[in-house]
Amino acid sequence: MAKSVDQCVQRAGALYDRIAVQLGNVLLDGSPRGRLVSSTSMTAVEHGLAIRLLISADQFASATALLRVQFEAVVRAIWLYSTAFDTSVPGETPNVQDMLDVIDRDAPPQVGTMLRDLAAHEDDALGVLRNANGLTAIASMQIAMLSGDERVSNGMRQIQMDHLDCLPPLPCAMSYEVLPVVK
């Protein structure tokens, strides 16, 4: 596990580089839902990159504020991907708490728990960065799953395993690759 903020920033850089290579040329579902999930997930990844830069520039308050926005983007992406009815896309979406309630009800139980763990307030730069990296891992897996290509999803799982040192610890029964699949 990365023991310092500087180590975690470096490892997060490697994480983002590998994600960019893995997802750089994937073909995604072109449905309205697929486009929304992809766009929302990519926004969450961009927020994670920005948080990494803010932490490396000692801008902790701004990084913490952006973490909440990243969290909301990931919740929305999971809600759109796994539980939203087609009539809800691209219509009005509920607030974050309502989306989490639907995720708790309709998605595998570990998904809501994982999201709530990542939303926990962190009062240090290392914790904020790790949580941002965890949210990025989830958003990236959403994109990989949209590809429908197991090689892309398996590659994302491997990237996550290779970078556990800059991700927040999760209970042993969970992993970042456990996300709902919509058929």
Question: For residue 171, is it within any domain?
Answer: no
Question: For residue 183, is it within any domain?
Answer: no
pLDDT digits (tens, 9 = 90+) for 79-138: 988 876 655 555 677 899 999 998 888 887 788 888 888 877 678 999 999 999 999 999
State the pLDDT at residue 90. 56
Question: For residue 179, is it within any domain?
Answer: no
State the pLDDT at residue 10. 96
Question: For residue 175, is it within any domain?
Answer: no
Question: For residue 152, is it within any domain?
Answer: yes
Question: Which is nearest to 129 in space by CA: 25, 13, 29, 38?
Answer: 13
Question: What integer is the mean pLDDT of 170-180?
Answer: 50
Tell me if residue 69 falls in helix, strand or coil.
Answer: helix
Question: Which is nearest to 35 in space by CA: 99, 87, 68, 81?
Answer: 81
Question: For residue 177, is it within any domain?
Answer: no
CB contact set of 84 (below 8 Å; sequence gap of 6+)? 33, 93, 102
Mean pLDDT of the chain: 86
d(CA 35, CA 40): 8
Total domains, the chain: 1
pLDDT bin (cut points 50, 70, 90) of residue 140 is: very high
Question: For residue 176, is it within any domain?
Answer: no
pLDDT digits (tens, 9 = 90+) for 37-67: 999 999 999 999 999 999 999 999 999 999 9
List the domain range (segments joined by +) for residue 60.
5-166
State the pLDDT at residue 172. 43
pLDDT for 174 beyond 60 = no
- CB environment 28-56: b (16+ within 10 A), e (fewer): bbeeebbbbbbebbbbbbebbbbbbebbb
